[in-house]
A = this chain, B = another copy of it.
Amino acid sequence: MTKLRMNQAVSAALADAMREDPAVVVIGEDVAVPGGVFKATDGLLAEFGVGRVRDTPISEMGFLGAAVGAAATGLRPVVEIMFGEFLGVALDQLVTEAAKLRYLSAGQYGVPLTVRASVGAGLGFGAQHSQCLETWFYATPGLKVAVASGPQTAYGLLRAAVRDDDPVVVLEPRRLYGGRAEVVTGDDGIIALGSAEVRTAGDDVTLVALGGTVPVAQEAADGAGWGAEVVDLRTLVPWDVATVLDSVRRTGRLVVVEEGPFSGGWGTEIAARVASELFGELRAPVHRVTSPDVPVPYAKPLETRYVPTVEYVREQVGELIETGRTPRPWWSREGAHR
């Protein structure tokens, strides 16, 4: 075990994957010589050379598409999309090509492709560099989506994604890159796709969090007067329905903690499924604690308020438990919304 920042955990995962399999190549803007703008590919060029670690032109459609073709013909590419938003110029290759290539070739061609993208607010990058965008990948059979919540999951999910024989998107909340923690590397550190982690035991509520909201939910639960099972979903597609249902069966309450707009957020999938499957068994309505329905604002006090805070999560969950009713979000309470 070594203590690593999350970006170091990513580069450690890539290095281990590249050592394990010579077909693994790393492709992206400024990933080679500069080692990545978030330093998540640092050191790879030195160890693996220009053939396997490649700086690209600014052309996400081109190099993501190239990675799809390379994956179908013998390589195992890992593409860095510096900011998740940039998939907006390349989504076709992921959703309409990569995810369907195996199907449309009756299994003759697979696409063992991993796409890493940084996501989320918190670093003051403004409305076009701070979104999470998980739903872009929804309703796409053939595509898997995992989300890192810290150094260990960044390492373990990425290793699993690279080994996976199908396209996997790994989202990395960029405000967590600098956070440091002990990381188990090697095979023991690999986290199977599709498995959630129950991080704490508690009787009153299940908090399902993902990526950047995992530390928030955890901290909210830690100091609270109620007991929570905090579940790090880790993989969003396919998500671990069994683990979440088990947990909610035990606690009787579910709160999904999301970064991103309330309307149409990824958590609707979790909420809809759990509410139906556990109909009649819940002690309170399923609740989603989210950001408001606004683009991510820049000014610090605004951005800070945008992402659910520890206090806000604690307050919302507390009220849900206490009243058995859905708490109103902060923006409808304070009359902040015009």
Residues of A within 8 A of B (CB): 61, 85-86, 88-89, 91-93, 95-96, 99-100, 103-104, 127-128, 131-142, 237-238, 260-261, 263-269, 271-273, 275-277, 279-280, 282, 284-288, 293-295, 326
Contacts and interface: CB of A to CB of B under 8 A. Distances in A.
Contact of A104 (B127, B277, B280, B326): B127
A29 to B, nearest CB: 16
B277 A275 contact: no
A89 B61 contact: yes
Given A88-B92, A127-B104, A139-B135, A271 B276 contact: yes
A89 B91 CA distance: 6
Given A132-B139, A139-B263, A276-B288, 5 more contacts: A89-B91, A237-B263, A268-B269, A268-B273, A277-B285
Contacts of A285: 275-277, 279-280
Nearest to A286: B276
A295 B100 contact: yes
A41 to B, nearest CB: 24
B295 A287 contact: no
Contacts of A238: 263
Contacts of A237: 263-264
Contacts of A103: 127, 294-295
B268 A142 contact: no
A127 B264 CA distance: 25
Contact of A96 (B61, B85, B95): B85
A141 B279 contact: no
A31 B140 CA distance: 29
A138 B273 CA distance: 18
A274 B206 CA distance: 20
The list of the 8 closest CB pairs from A to B, nearest first, reads: A138-B264, A88-B92, A279-B285, A275-B275, A271-B272, A268-B268, A268-B272, A276-B285
Contacts of A88: 91-93, 95-96
A97 to B, nearest CB: 8
A166 to B, nearest CB: 13
Contact of A326 (B86, B95, B277): B277
B61 A135 contact: no
A249 to B, nearest CB: 15
A13 B30 CA distance: 48
A262 to B, nearest CB: 9
Given A88-B96, A271-B272, A265 B139 contact: yes
Contacts of A104: 127, 295
10 contacts: A86-B92, A88-B92, A88-B95, A96-B131, A133-B139, A138-B263, A139-B260, A141-B294, A142-B295, A275-B286
A264 B139 contact: yes
Contacts of A93: 88
B141 A128 contact: no
Contacts of A91: 88-89, 91, 136
Nearest to A93: B88
Contacts of A267: 272
